[in-house]
Amino acid sequence: MGSYTVFSFLGTTLDRARTEEKRWGKWRPNIALCQHEELPIKKLILLHPPSALPLLHLVCRDIAIVSPTTTIEPVPLEVNDPWEFEEVFSALLDFSSTYPFEDKEEYLLHMTTGTHVAQICLFLLAEARYFPAKLIQTAPVEHDESKKGSYRIIDLDLSRYDTIAQRFSFRKREKLSLLKSGIETRNEDFNRLIEQIEFVATNSPDPILLTGATGTGKSHLARQIYEVKRTHNKVLGPLVEVNCATLRGDSAMSSLFGHTKGAFTGAATARAGLLLSAHKGVLFLDEIGELGLDEQAMLLRALEEKRFLPMGADREVTSDFQLIAGTNRDLRQCVREKTFREDLLARIDLWSFHLPSLRERREDIEPNLEYELSKISGRLGMKVSFSTEARLLFLSFANKTEWYANFRGFNASITRMGTLSAHGRITENIVRDEIQRLKRQRGEPPPEEDTVFLPLQLTDSLDPFDRAQLEEVVRVCLRSSSLSEAGRELFSVSRTRKKVSNDADRLRKYLSRFGLTWDGIRSGISVTLTTVDMTNREEPAPLEYSED
């Protein structure tokens, strides 16, 4: 059994007895602590107020009686107010930062004495491992002549409490997945960004600016941020969402700031306006770059003073809302072009987060694919999934292509394929058609000139030199009606020098080096690939003539 070093506060109330004579008839935590044979205490570090010296001396004397082997090390702790959290915390933090803890020692923190504030501070410091110690609590026991009472040791090392640790991490994931809609995104930058946004959403009422190209998820994220704020009780009011591009002309002012009855011709009834509706909630101004300059000025004042003047009103109204703004514009450029107020920008970009385009987070294509499939499955009322080959083909395309509307374009593509799938099965043909559709949408060349999409595991293991060659070979195979026809075209020069033509055989051998077969290519080039271990594949020979 080890022997402990204990940190404890001198109990200026609990360690004190009414008279010196009667003190042995009272349970005193620090003396009681040192009375348990099975809990040998090598050293007791007694933190005490410098003014409590007489009590300190008495306690030291009594401990020497009940536990002669315990060394006592008194440490005066200078705090003006032992109920003042910051002061106590920094005094204890300073102490723990300079204390020479040793690995092989066993430390305990006695939690029974000291103010509740001091106990909370000790707990926090132990949890953060500033004190590499377990906690010990002591308590009196009824009808206990010895007055040594009971004790209990608590180990805060949560890794030892699996279920608690799991609940902690589950709570954290729960919140994070709220912002990510439960998608297990893999892109590190994006995940870090989301963690920051979550922290800011939870802890700050200041405006949040979300920037990024169209379809990167700004509007979606704004709604999720509102949910996070609401989960943490940071807002009580509603989410009021408006796309500023729809606020044009005269009605923009009254839509935002409201108007009184008769404020202008046609104002038959009074209108509260969006800012007032967002009171105690969140106002999401999407496309804030589209807001007119007058509205920008009013908005700035409403943000700074939390007050504004509705149209036609003679008294200001108050609205305390949190702002989220979204834009795909470069607002700094707008400031230079004088279409956006510099002071408003300074006010709203305190927390500015840039959402990456799909191109910048290709790792997330697959998790998003899963998510969209489950969404469309729910909508169509049947499980929608890709065949293995179709999935490889689509991912290979999705990884290379430029998604113009980012996730909006990507999601639409999956929705189309899911809708067209018979019995929820997305086949290679559906994927091929979708790829053509996407290319037509972008005005790219028609299918004949089509690029060949080699499966990702294959292209990733090839030099661009070999890839270009293989793509051309596959392209010829796809437009030929037989292996021999493709061979004739591909070996059209060297075959004239041969006595016996063996184009088909040469081509078959070339393809087999990549794990490809004619039939496989014709029915979707990835078919045979899944069975090939690319790591052990011998180096593909260049497509040159060899007499074999």
Ligand X SMILES: Nc1ncnc2c1ncn2[C@@H]1O[C@H](COP(=O)(O)OP(=O)(O)O)[C@@H](O)[C@H]1O
Q: Binding residues for ligand X, per CB under 6 A?
A: 180-181, 183, 212, 214-220, 326, 371, 407-408, 411
Question: What gap in Å lies between CA 115 and CA 126, rounded to an integer?
Answer: 17
**The two three-digit tokens of residue 425, written as one number:** 């099965």
Q: Give the nearest residue (CB) to ligand X.
A: 217
Residue closer to ligand X by CB (options 207, 212) is 212
Q: How far is the CB of 383 from ligand X (least distance, A)?
A: 19
Residue closer to ligand X by CB (options 325, 483) is 325
Q: How far is the CB of 134 from ligand X (least distance, A)?
A: 42
Q: How far is the CB of 210 from ligand X (least distance, A)?
A: 8
> Whose CA is closest to 479, among 430, 521, 435?
521
Cα distances (angstroms) measured from residue 133 to each of 71, 130, 161: 18, 9, 16
Residue closer to ligand X by CB (options 216, 319) is 216
Question: What gap in Å lies between CA 277 and CA 283, rounded to an integer?
Answer: 9
Residue closer to ligand X by CB (options 74, 215) is 215
Residues facing 166 on adjacent strands: none
**What is the binding site for Mg ion (CB under 5 A)?**
219, 286
Q: How far is the CB of 222 from ligand X (least distance, A)?
A: 8
Residue closer to ligand X by CB (options 408, 522) is 408
Q: Phi and psi dihedrals of 388, rounded to 5?
A: -55, -45
The site partner of 110 among Mg ion, ligand X, none (C-beta below 5 to 8 Å per kind) is none
186-187-189 Cα angle (round to 5):
140
Residue closer to ligand X by CB (options 219, 296) is 219
Which is it for strands 134-139 and 150-154: parallel, antiparallel or unpaired? antiparallel
Residue closer to Mg ion by CB (options 214, 251) is 214
Q: How far is the CB of 398 from ligand X (least distance, A)?
A: 14
H runs (alpha helix) in 180-262: 188-203, 218-231, 251-257
The site partner of 411 among Mg ion, ligand X, none (C-beta below 5 to 8 Å per kind) is ligand X
**The two three-digit tokens of residue 53, written as one number:** 């010296």
Q: How far is the CB of 437 from ligand X (least distance, A)?
A: 18
The site partner of 216 among Mg ion, ligand X, none (C-beta below 5 to 8 Å per kind) is ligand X
Residues facing 45 on adjacent strands: 7, 73
Question: What gap in Å lies between CA 217 and CA 246, rounded to an integer?
Answer: 19
Residues facing 324 on adjacent strands: 208, 284
Question: What gap in Å lies between CA 194 and CA 179, rounded to an integer?
Answer: 7
Q: How far is the CB of 212 from Mg ion (least distance, A)?
A: 9
Q: How far is the CB of 384 from ligand X (least distance, A)?
A: 16
Greatest CA separation for the chain: 122
Q: How far is the CB of 246 from Mg ion (least distance, A)?
A: 12
**The two three-digit tokens of residue 139, written as one number:** 């308590």
Count Cβ atoms within 10 A of the Cβ of residue 169 and give its class: 0-12 exposed, 13-18 middle, 19 or more buried.
Answer: exposed
In 117-236, the DSSP E strands lie at 134-139, 150-154, 208-211
Residue closer to ligand X by CB (options 180, 361) is 180
Q: Phi and psi dihedrals of 107, rounded to 5?
A: -110, 145
Q: How far is the CB of 203 from ligand X (least distance, A)?
A: 21
The single residue listed with the structure tokens 């700035």 is 300
**The residue type at 440:** R
Question: What gap in Å lies between CA 425 and CA 420, rounded to an integer?
Answer: 9
Question: What gap in Å lies between CA 203 and CA 516, rounded to an integer?
Answer: 56
> Whose CA is closest to 13, among 118, 107, 143?
118
Residue closer to Mg ion by CB (options 242, 431) is 242
Residue closer to Mg ion by CB (options 138, 219) is 219
